[in-house]
Amino acid sequence: MKAKILFLGYICGMFLLGSCYKESDISPSYMDRNWYILEDSENPLDHQRYLVYKEYGIPIFYKDTIGVQDRGVDAFGEPVIYYEVIDPDYTIETMYKKTTFELSDQEDALIEGVKFIKDRVIPELISPVLYPRCFLLVKKVTLSNLSSYEGNCFRGMMTTLVSHVEKLKDMSDAELNRLAVEVVGEQIGAYLADSCIVELESFINVSRKEVNPNGSLYAFRLTGGTTPKMAPVANFGFLSFDRKEANNANTCQTVTEQRDVMDYVTEVYMNDDAAFKEKYKDYPYVLKKYDLMKKVVADMKARFK
């Protein structure tokens, strides 16, 4: 009985203590702000960005700091200012940075960049599941501090970088098409690698099992002493080497499975079978994987119709 009375007293005490808090003691969580919503503006660039966002729900940015928020003061009375910054290398597992980029301040070029994405990229992303969280237009993107390789685009969890924005106005139609297709290849390739594992099995197994029965050749460091030895990566069914790693005439690292899928999706979307098969006519594994990827892409398009 005594224990029951003590317990009831404890509950009443907690209730009374809780009722002593004033509304002024409650602080905002700051968790409900959506930094990826665009609003209309009289600025021509921002207005064009808003029109794309309104139609497709895809934000396009040209600055990596996309928001600033005053969060009051800390325990020492110092102001707390929060900055929402796009980090292309962000993943759930790590914050390790490899990708660097240079922003553009040329408004006319950035307007061309918005038009480029609207007219040439988005129409190929035939379902919202293929959309990036946002696009970030940049002047230059370097994929790795190890290789210093300058890329055309880069797809991360937080954003997809689209480079060369200041060169768009001087590009030929063929060059614009190639850049657009590479952006599309990044987006659709990432989707397929993440969500279509069964459909990709035959494609992946060419370089995972068929080329080298002793083991996968994905993310494999080729040298003169390895089995297989250093050779053009097309011998093993690849279209590129890992541009984020240090490579030279004596050694190179092959691509990851996701990068391999992206490379082949890009070539399929170039829609020039004759040119591709002529270029790689001496590389049977490449031709086999190309035909397999064409089927995967065709099946994906049929599902999204």
pLDDT score of 282 more than 90: yes
Tell me the pLDDT band of 21, cut-offs 50, 70 and 90: very low
Question: Could you give the 3-state DSSP secondary structure of residue 123?
Answer: helix
Distance CA 138, CA 122 (A): 18
CA distance 45 to 29: 32
10 vs 214, which has greater pLDDT? 214
Q: How far apart are CA 125 and CA 131, in angstroms?
A: 7
**Residue-wise pLDDT tens digits, 170-181:** 999 999 999 999
Residue 147 has pLDDT above 80, yes or no: no
DSSP-derived 3-state class of residue 203: helix
Q: For 96-122, give one letter per residue: b (16+ CB within 10 A) or e.
A: eeebebebbeeeebbbbbbebbbebbb
Residue 238 in contact with residue 206, Cβ under 8 Å? no
Identify the band that residue 26 occupies on the pLDDT scale cut at 50, 70 and 90. Answer: low
Q: What is the mean pLDDT of the chain?
A: 90
Query: Are 263 and 280 spatial neighbours (Cβ–Cβ below 8 Å)?
Result: no
CA distance 79 to 57: 34
Indicate if the pLDDT at residue 129 is higher than 80.
yes
* Pure H helices in 57-149: 107-116
Asked whether the predicted pLDDT for residue 76 surpasses 70, the reply is yes
Examine the pLDDT at 73 and tell me if it is beyond 80.
yes
φ/ψ of 109, rounded to 5, equals -65, -40
Q: How confident is the model at residue 148 (pLDDT cuts 50, 70, 90)?
A: confident
pLDDT in tens, 173-206: 999 999 999 999 999 999 999 999 999 999 999 9
What local confidence, expressed as pLDDT, does residue 304 receive? Answer: 95
Tell me the C-alpha distance between 198 and 213, whole Å: 21
Q: Is residue 244 over pLDDT 90?
A: no
Name the pLDDT band for 96 (thresholds 50, 70, 90). Answer: low
Beta carbons within 10 angstroms of residue 142's beta carbon: 18
Q: Answer whether 163's CB lies under 8 Å from 101's CB.
A: yes
Q: Euclidean distance between the first and final Cα of the chain, in Å? A: 70
Q: Reply yes or no on whether the pLDDT at 2 is more than 90.
A: no
Residue 4: count of CB within 10 angstroms of its CB: 8
Q: Region 43-48: what's the mean pLDDT?
A: 98
Q: Which of 69-78, 126-135, 222-231 has the highest mean pLDDT?
A: 126-135
Sequence-separated contacts (24+) of 269-276 with Cβ below 8 Å: 269/124, 269/181, 269/184, 269/185, 269/188, 269/297, 270/177, 270/178, 270/181
Between 4-13, 151-160, 239-248, the lowest mean confidence (pLDDT) is in 4-13
Per-residue pLDDT tens digits for 252-266: 999 999 999 999 999
Task: Spell out a b/e string for 265-303, using b for 16 or more CB atoms within 10 Å of the CB, else e.
Answer: bbbbbbeeeeebeeebeebebbbebbebbeebbeebeee
Amino acid at 163: S
Residue 163 has a pLDDT of: 98
User: What confidence score (pLDDT) does residue 248 get?
Assistant: 86
Contacts of 21 by beta carbon, 8 Å cutoff, 6+ apart? none
Summarize the chain as % helix, strand, coil (round to 5): 45, 15, 40
CB under 8 Å to 191, separation ≥6 — which residues? Answer: 129, 130
Is the pLDDT at 17 greater than 80? The verdict is no
HEC readout, 12-66: HHHHHHHHCCCHHHCCCCCCCCCCCCCCCCCCHHHHHHHHHHHHHCCCEECCCEE
Query: Is residue 111 over pLDDT 90?
Result: yes
Q: Are the C-beta atoms of 189 and 266 separated by less than 8 Å?
A: yes
Omega before residue 228 within 30° of 0, cis: yes
